[in-house]
Amino acid sequence: MTTVIKNGTIVTADLTYKADVLVENGKITEIGPDLQGDETLDATGCYVMPGGIDPHTHLEMPFMGTYSTDDFESGTRAALSGGTTMVVDFALPAPGQGLRDALQMWHNKSGRANCDYSYHMAITWWGEQVFNEMKDVVQDEGITTFKHFMAYKGALMVNDDEMYASFQRCAELGALPLVHAENGDVVAELQAKLVAAGNNGPEAHAYSRPPQVEGEATNRAIMIADMAGVPLYVVHTSCEDSHEAIRRARMAGKRVWGEPLIQHLTLDESEYFNADWDHAARRVMSPPFRNKQHQDSLWAGLQSGSLSVVATDHCAFTTDQKRYGVGDFTKIPNGTGGLEDRMPMLWTYGVATGRLTMNEFVAVTSTNIAKILNCYPKKGAVLVGADADLVVWDPEKEKTISAAHQQSAIDYNVFEGKHVKGLPRYTLTRGQVAVKDGAVQTQEGHGEFVRREPVNPVNKALSTWKELTAPRKVERSGIPASGV
Ligand code: URP
Ligand code: ZN
Ligand code: ZN
């Protein structure tokens, strides 16, 4: 069966033009005028764009004594409803658990996905098994990105020596390291101090994670990556302090990418000072929301190209889960939702305001990350041969965001009450119409794992664990006489 998208304007990261798109067997087979198919989707007045790719989600993630509530079914349904057709989640090994083992657990969960997905593998501890399995994960499993948490001390955090070793391993495998850049030691100190002073409400979460902890860690990660000879991707860049480090690195020719979230672009720190505990706690995430100056910096980064990708870090907890932290803000599960709202919110606050062009919108929601993750042009493109992951975007369609009508399984929405203009008329996942005139008709289990290949692996035999960890002795011809 063929499907034709008729009378629309194709918008890609670099072109805007009128043409029909023909889809067969999940792929784009023809682009041009006057195409015919078995099924016709009318795109009059709409833009036909690559479906969004959200490279930062935590679906059914075990974290802070609970599991994030949106799983691969509700999470990817929410994604498709908002025009996102691929997510990249994080496989998180428990302390001492092997990478392949953790990966199997994530494959078990993702069988319910409604759209395509990939994973980043987290490095949560360091040892010979992790070193060895990194190669298997890249070469056998098609996962070429490794996440490092510089925060969450005593849980997910890795230290600099572990990070440096892992970055070196990434360099030789042609893999890309990712960092959650916050100084976890300083955060832990600040948390303890605030709790001891009786400052235990959700607003203290923001005090415990000032922009400096993010700026410091971003600088450190960039320098460690430079010493290891590897590019770097900085997730959830929330402030000027971190953005400045990324901008400076890029100006110096380093390959560093920064990823602001739609939450940090559109919501600010005043949310934490709401008199309603639930309201504030529902917005607790790391890094926290920042002030308007930091927001302006993030928008400027997207406009100038120093920041590359807009993600969500979708990690949705119910109000009941958030209440684990009543009386102690350090126990509030960290995370917010956004999968369903990223594209409409960025269109409304980015394109409709004139901050971003439509082509820039496509670049930062889809094409840039497809290139960074090495799955372009299978994903992130409107080209013959690409997967038919497409969104037919109606710039006139509007709604007021409300938890009452969302796909996400949680009981609130951090964007509640925001009015958005620009929504999908249709969303196609590998050719299958998942959203039709706003009605969601997803198919559980339709999603497939997207395998990715490494980029520029070092062209020599890989080092062994012994070589990487052995101290090297310098052979000297003579030893000077001792001093005074
Ligand atoms: O608060 C957040 N961001 N929760 C999800 C885990 C992470 O740090 O990305
Ligand atoms: Zn993080
Ligand atoms: Zn995250």
| Res 366: pLDDT | 99
Nearest CA to ligand 1 atom 3: 286
Q: Ligand 1 centroid vs 125 CA: distance in angstroms?
A: 18
pLDDT at 475: 82
Nearest protein CA to atom 9 of ligand 1, as residue:
313
Structure tokens at 44: 């009059």
Among positive and negative, which fits the CA dihedral 295, 301, 304, 308? Answer: negative
Mean per-residue pLDDT, 297-311: 98
Lookup: tokens for 150? 């510089």
Q: If residue 298 lies in a helix (H) or strand (E), which one and from where to where?
A: helix 292-304
Q: Is the CB of 334 under 6 A from ligand 1?
A: yes
User: At CA 236, angle to CA 223 and CA 87, rounded to 5?
Assistant: 115
* Residue found under tokens 């005074």: 484
Q: Which amino acid is at 332?
A: I
Asked whether residue 445 carries a pLDDT value surpassing 90, the answer given is: yes
- Cβ of 286 less than 6 Å from ligand 1: yes
When pLDDT is averaged across residues 321-330 and rounded to a whole number, the result is 98
pLDDT, tens digit (0-9, with 9 covering 90-100), for 262-299: 999 999 999 999 999 999 999 999 999 999 999 999 99
Tokens 């990939």 correspond to what residue?
Answer: 118
Q: How far is the CA of 309 from the centre of ligand 3 (A)?
A: 14
Confidence of residue 465 (pLDDT cuts 50, 70, 90): confident
User: Rounded CA gap, 364 and 301, in Å?
Assistant: 11
> Rounded CA gap, 328 and 103, in Å?
33
Of all protein residues, the one whose alpha carbon is nearest to atom 2 of ligand 1 is 335
Alpha carbon distance 393, 186 (integer Å): 44
58 lines ligand 1 (CB under 6 A): yes
Q: With bands split at pLDDT 50, 70 and 90, how would you rate the model's confidence at 480? A: confident
Say if residues 110 and 444 touch (Cβ distance below 8 Å): no
DSSP H or E run through 481: none
Cβ neighbours of residue 411 closer than 8 Å, sequence gap 6 or more: 318, 319, 403
Neighbours of 142 (CB within 10 A): 17
Query: Ligand 1 center to residue 19 CA distance, Å?
Result: 41
State the pLDDT confidence band at 161, using cuts at 50, 70 and 90. Answer: very high
pLDDT digits (tens, 9 = 90+) for 27-50: 999 999 999 999 999 999 999 999
Cα(54) to ligand 1 centroid in Å equals 14
pLDDT average, residue stretch 128-145? 98
Say what the pTM is.
Answer: 0.96
Mutate which of 124, 315, 339 for ligand 1 pocket (most atoms within 8 A of beta carbon): 315
Q: Is the minimum distance from the CB of 283 to ligand 1 under 6 angstroms?
A: no
How confident is the model at residue 477, as a pLDDT? 84
pLDDT value at position 460?
Answer: 61
Whole-number percent of the chain with pLDDT over 70: 99
- Of ligand 1's listed atoms, the one at least distance from the Cα of 149 is 8
pLDDT bucket at 147, cuts 50 / 70 / 90: very high
What would you measure as the largest C-alpha separation in the chain, in angstroms? 92
Q: Is 287 in the pocket of ligand 1 (CB under 6 A)?
A: no
Whole-number pLDDT of residue 458? 64
Q: Is the pLDDT of residue 459 over 60?
A: no
Identify the sign of the CA torsion 20, 24, 26, 28: negative
pLDDT score recorded for residue 343: 98
Binding site membership of 285 for ligand 1 (Cβ less than 6 Å): yes
Average pLDDT value for residue range 324-330: 98
- Write the CA distances from 126 to 60, 61, 471, integer angstroms: 24, 21, 17
Centroid of ligand 2 to alpha carbon of 247 (angstroms): 20
Average pLDDT, the chain: 96
CA of 182 to the centre of ligand 1 (A): 11
Quote the ligand 3 centre to 458 CA distance (angstroms). 29
Beta strands in 150-250 (DSSP E): 176-180, 232-234
Q: What tens digit of pLDDT does each residue of 79-118 get?
A: 999 999 999 999 999 999 999 999 999 999 999 999 999 9
pLDDT tens digit string along 21-32?
A: 999 999 999 999
